[in-house]
Structure 1
Amino acid sequence: MSSYLTIIISFFYLGILGILLNRLHLLSILLCFELLLISLFIWICNTLFKTFNNLILSNNLILLTLSACEASAGLSLMVALSRTHNSDLVSSMNILQQ
Structure 2
Amino acid sequence: MALLIIVLSMFFLGFIGILLNRLHFLSILLCLELLLISLFIGIALWNVEMGILQNASFNLLLLTISACEASLGLSLMVALSRTHSSDLVANLNLLQH
TM-score by length of 1: 0.95
1:97 and 2:91 are equivalent in the alignment: no
Q: CA deviation at 1:76?
A: 0.4
Superposed CA deviations along residues 30-56 of structure 1, whole A, max 9, x for unmatched, are 000000000011000000111111211
Superposed CA deviations along residues 2-35 of structure 1, whole A, max 9, x for unmatched, are 1001001111110011111110000000000000
The aligned residue for residue 10 of structure 2 is 11
Secondary structure in structure 1 of the residue aligned to 2:52: coil
The aligned residue for residue 27 of structure 1 is 26
- Structure 2 gaps of 5+ residues are none
- The percent of aligned pairs where both chains have the same amino acid is 63
Superposed CA deviations along residues 45-86 of structure 1, whole A, max 9, x for unmatched, are 000111111211121111101100110000000000110001
Structure 1 runs, 4 residues or longer, greater than 6 Å off: none
TM-score by length of 2: 0.96
Q: Give the letter for the 1:18 counterpart.
A: G
